[in-house]
Amino acid sequence: MRALLALLRKELYHIRRDRRTLAVLVLMPIVQVILFGFAISTDVKNVRIAIVDPAPDSETQALRHRFASTGGTFQVTAVVPRTSHLESLFQRGTAQAAVVFEPGFATRLGQGLPAPLLVIVDATEPNTGSAIQNYVLAVVSAYERERGASSPLRIVPAVQMRFNPTRESKHLFVPGLMAFVLTIISALMTAISLTREKETGTIEALLVSPLHPWQIVVGKVVPYLGVGFVSVIAVVVEARLIFDVPVRGSVWLLLAEGLLFILVSLSIGILISARTSSQRVAMMAALVGTMLPTMLLSGFMFPLDSMPRPLQLVAQVVPARWFVEIARSIMLKGVGLEFLWQETLVLAAMALVLLTMSARSFHARLE
């Protein structure tokens, strides 16, 4: 026991003395929360729109004026006489949408004939394209209504956004960010830390000591568990203070599930380090095996429902996917274990399997 404590102390020294890594570990969650909170948004606003008006008249001016005075929705960045000018504008990004009039707009309207209007939308990013389309159509409809048009029938939806009334993307990213931070600390750091000892040979001294291999592993791993835990708390607190992200359910449950997830990630880290002695390889393996799936297949950034079936199946074995769902449910829906026991069981099972695998594998490789 004393030997284990000595190991723990040594590991803490390592962590404390490596200023740069420590700085990254501390800064990373903070910076990421800020970035995600402020930067990651899919709101479409200030759409850059170009107008093609070969023969301006009172009506085209009126409609153009509407686009120019929408407040934050549109900004008219160019007015050109011909469509041929548009290509370059779109390619440069100066315009994301364009409204093309034809000569005789006002005349046709006055005669009660439909006046054609071409709307061009940059659909490179499909959702943005759809949103822009909707905005443009909304402006046109408002213009029509003002001129006296009325629709014969209206179904009026009253929309309620549950669990996230302001549709804050921030509220949705915090659980994912927790998974991300934990994965980095638990999987990546342990993998590198253990292979580092192998690469520099310092592990041999540990091995010839009376220490049992499992003690070495535990001694290595527990400090990172501590660091990870602190990081998670930091993320939640920060998100709460700066962005008002709630924790509607039980905080203890959240932390307990966090601990479970850390265990799973740690085992993966150990597994990776058991298979290689090169830090470079360990790091890449951890990145591919844990980071990327956590980012992309956990439902953190991209909704799982949108993915093709095969990928959804693969996502089921990504631990982060379960943790993100659990964390989201606790934080946003405020549900408890009675709704989450299945997901928790999956995580627990993963932890058990991975821990056994890594313990066995580490043992074998060291001899």
Of residues 226 through 285, those in contact with another protein by CB under 8 A are: 276, 278-281, 283-284
From 4, 119, 206, 355, residue interacting with another protein (rule: CB under 8 A): 119
| 13 CB burial (10 A radius; 0-12, 13-18, 19+) | exposed
Residue from 157, 201, 208, 252 in contact with another protein (CB under 8 A): 157
Binding residues for another protein restricted to 189-228, rule: CB under 8 A: 192-193, 196, 200
Only segment of 166-174, 207-215, 231-239, 245-253 that touches another protein (CB under 8 A): 166-174
Residue 97 dihedral angles phi and psi, to the nearest 5°: -155, 160
CB of 356 to another protein, least distance (A): 26
Minimum separation from the CB atom of position 141 to another protein (A): 9
Angle between helices 337-366 and 319-328 (to 10 degrees): 150
Write down the residue that tokens 């004026």 correspond to: 65
Which is closer to another protein, CB of 5 or CB of 138? 138
- Can you tell me the distance from the alpha carbon of 300 to that of 180, in angstroms, rounded to the nearest whole number? 9
Distance CA 119, CA 51 (A): 10
Q: How far is the CB of 344 from another protein (least distance, A)?
A: 15
Size of the site for another protein (CB under 8 A): 116
Task: Specify whether the CB–CB gap between 53 and 60 falls below 8 A.
Answer: yes
Q: Which of 144, 259, 348, 365 contacts another protein by CB under 8 A?
A: 144
10 Å CB burial of residue 28 (0-12, 13-18, 19+) is middle
C-beta of 325: minimal distance to another protein in Å? 8
The residue range among 140-148, 225-233, 235-243, 350-358 that interacts with another protein, by the rule CB under 8 A, is: 140-148
In this structure, are residues 67 and 73 in contact, taking their beta carbons and an 8 Å threshold? no
Binding residues for another protein restricted to 75-114, rule: CB under 8 A: 88, 90-93, 96, 109, 112-114
Q: Which residue from 9, 16, 65, 167 is in contact with another protein, where contact means CB under 8 A?
A: 167
Q: Encoding tokens for residue 187? A: 């999987």
Q: Tell whether residue 169 is a contact of another protein (CB under 8 A).
A: yes
Alpha carbon distance 172, 174 (integer Å):
6
Minimum distance from residue 72 beta carbon to another protein (Å): 12
Range 283-342, binding another protein (CB under 8 A): 283-284, 287-288, 292, 296-297, 299, 301-303, 305-308, 310-311, 314-315, 325, 328-329, 332-333, 335, 339
Site for another protein in 22-51 (CB under 8 A): 24-25, 27-28, 31-32, 35-36, 38-48
Shortest Å distance, C-beta 134 to another protein: 6
- Which positions ≥6 away from 47 have C-beta within 8 Å? 73, 74, 75, 96, 97, 132, 135
CA separation (Å) from 117 to 106, 112, 349? 12, 15, 60
121, 260, 270, 330: which one binds another protein (CB under 8 A):
121
Among candidate residues 293, 297, 303, the one with its CA nearest the CA of residue 127: 303
Q: Of 1 and 156, which has the nearer Cβ to another protein?
A: 156
Give the integer Cα–Cα distance in Å for 164 and 158: 16
Q: Give the other-Cβ count within 10 Å of 150's Cβ.
A: 7
